[in-house]
């Protein structure tokens, strides 16, 4: 049976999250930066929105270079806030997961998914699912993403990159060869600069040219295994399955308090949404935990943790809230310093037996 594989990649991810958090940024070049702290401008641009990209700013360039390019322009230069992007990423991934057969997250803002079963191999039906996924990510998080569909992971990944931002590229099996043919070989996963150079020496620049080379030709240059992979990838026939990553063994969230405090009630209030978030992720995995921990990062940046272990696995929100409140109170009694950030973590998961039947009914 023909496979239906998708790849989703959130557009200019860190910068787009910043735009969602502050919509007034949308009209400006936005740079999300990692400051090294050595001098005021030391560091690199992690990513930039499309307004900034059009002015020559891109991931990886020094902040000072970016500032030069944007001289005289009203641009937003923002310090990277990884925990914000992480939280958005987790919500997007669980949303996508609800709409697909299997999800394999491969980065903070990208994932492969499989729709073979639910679409019955019909790319028209799969396209409708992809549209639905894009709409729900936009509706619930305000984010655009680019999605590709194809008969294999390699094709889906190239397809999601084909039209950006906010793209949807569907490569049905019968158009795979004509879609891949004109692309440079470097677009194939696993063809780095070295392999591309070796291919160029053989007179191979495009995927179409690669697909026409004999097995012997490729084997002489790349060895048997790699040659077989390149030959398959060039016609979109790579067979790697979409495989879910190992389940996490813990779930956690941490928040920065509006103001440092010694008051556990105040800290708990501000952690409340994060506890609900952890609970929601726990439930969506059908998991339950035996250990819950409260973490506090103090005003002098030392980290303190207190944990409670339950005899039997639990998963209800009230218990989580109650335990976290108590643990924060204990922490505040022994910390000796103000809380700056606080967090909650659940771990030591027991699998909940009705998990598969639940997802069957919901699916
Ligand atoms: P990408 O998906 O490569 O880039 P992007 O989401 O910013 O843009 P695109 O619209 O082209 O998909 O990377 C995802 C995130 O990873 C990105 O938002 C920031 C981070 N990142 C870095 O921190 N440093 C880097 O050099 C790159 C490439 C990405
Ligand atoms: Ca991206």
Quote the pLDDT of residue 244.
Answer: 82
* DSSP 8-state secondary structure symbol assigned to residue 241: -
* DSSP 8-state secondary structure symbol assigned to residue 173: G
CA angle, 135 then 136 then 137, to 5°? 95
Quote the pLDDT of residue 362.
Answer: 34
Could you tell me if 324 and 292 are in contact, meaning their C-beta atoms sit under 8 angstroms apart?
yes
Residues in contact with 102: Cβ distance below 8 Å, sequence separation at least 6, in sequence order: 113, 114, 242, 243, 244
Peptide linkage before 165 cis (omega within 30 of 0) = yes
User: Which tens digit of pLDDT belongs to each residue from 239-296?
Assistant: 888 988 776 678 899 999 999 999 999 999 999 999 999 998 888 777 899 999 999 9
Q: Which residue minimizes the CA distance to atom 18 of ligand 1?
A: 13
Overall pTM > 0.85? no
* Least distant ligand from the CA of 11: 1
The whole-angstrom separation of Cα 285 and Cα 356 is 10
- Using the Cα atoms of residue 79, residue 83, residue 89 and residue 95 in order, give the sign of their dihedral: negative
Pocket test for ligand 1, best of 8, 10, 47, 164 (most atoms within 8 A of CB): 47
168-170/250-261 β-pairing: unpaired
Residues in contact with 1: Cβ distance below 8 Å, sequence separation at least 6, in sequence order: 116, 121
For the chain, the helix, strand and coil percentages under 3-state DSSP, each to the nearest 5? 45, 25, 30
What are the structure tokens assigned to 6, written together? 């998708």
Q: Which atom of ligand 1 is nearest to the CA of 109?
A: 14
Residues with CB under 6 A from ligand 1: 9-14, 46-47, 59-60, 108-109, 164-165
Quote the pLDDT of residue 85.
Answer: 95
What are the structure tokens assigned to 246, written together? 């190992």
Could you tell me if 18 and 30 are in contact, meaning their C-beta atoms sit under 8 angstroms apart?
yes
Q: Which residues are catalytic?
A: 110
The whole-angstrom separation of Cα 347 and Cα 290 is 7
* Least distant ligand from the CA of 49: 1
Q: Residue 31 forms beta bridges with which residues?
A: 48, 77
What are the structure tokens assigned to 304, written together? 């303190």
The whole-angstrom separation of Cα 148 and Cα 244 is 18
The whole-angstrom separation of Cα 86 and Cα 99 is 20
CA of 46 to the centre of ligand 1 (A): 7
pLDDT < 50 stretches in the chain: 352-363
Q: Which atom of ligand 1 is nearest to the CA of 59?
A: 26
């Amino acid at each position: 049976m023909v496979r239906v594989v998708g790849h989703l990649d959130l557009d200019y991810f860190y910068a787009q999250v910043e735009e969602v958090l502050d919509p007034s940024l949308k009209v400006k070049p936005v740079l999300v930066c990692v400051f090294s702290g050595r001098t005021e401008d030391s560091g690199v641009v992690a990513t930039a929105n499309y307004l900034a990209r059009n002015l020559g700013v891109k991931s990886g360039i020094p902040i000072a270079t970016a500032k030069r390019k944007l001289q005289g322009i009203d641009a937003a230069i923002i310090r990277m806030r990884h925990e914000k992007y992480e939280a958005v990423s987790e919500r997007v991934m669980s949303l996508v997961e609800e709409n697909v057969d299997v999800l394999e997250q491969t980065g903070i803002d990208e994932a492969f998914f499989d729709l073979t079963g639910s679409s019955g191999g019909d790319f028209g039906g799969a396209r409708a699912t992809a549209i639905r996924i894009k709409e729900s990510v936009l509706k619930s998080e305000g984010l655009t993403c680019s999605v590709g569909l194809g008969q294999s992971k390699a094709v889906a990944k190239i397809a999601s990159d084909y039209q950006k931002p906010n793209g949807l590229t569907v490569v049905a099996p019968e158009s795979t060869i004509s879609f891949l043919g004109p692309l440079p070989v470097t677009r194939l996963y696993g063809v780095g600069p070295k392999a591309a150079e070796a291919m160029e020496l053989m007179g191979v620049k495009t995927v179409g040219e690669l697909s026409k080379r004999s097995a012997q030709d490729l084997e002489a240059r790349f060895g048997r295994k790699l040659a077989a992979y390149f030959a398959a990838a060039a016609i979109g026939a790579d067979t790697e399955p979409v495989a879910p990553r190992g389940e996490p063994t813990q779930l956690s969230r941490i928040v920065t308090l509006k103001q440092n405090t010694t008051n556990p009630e105040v800290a708990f209030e501000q952690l409340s949404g994060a506890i609900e978030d952890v609970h929601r992720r726990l439930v969506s995995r059908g998991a339950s935990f035996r250990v819950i921990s409260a973490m506090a990062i103090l005003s002098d940046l030392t980290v303190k943790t207190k944990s409670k272990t339950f005899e039997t696995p639990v998963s209800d929100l009230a218990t989580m809230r109650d335990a976290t409140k108590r643990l924060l109170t204990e922490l505040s009694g022994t910390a000796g310093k103000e809380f700056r950030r606080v967090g909650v973590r659940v771990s030591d998961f027991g699998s909940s037996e009705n998990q598969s039947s639940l997802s069957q009914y919901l699916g």
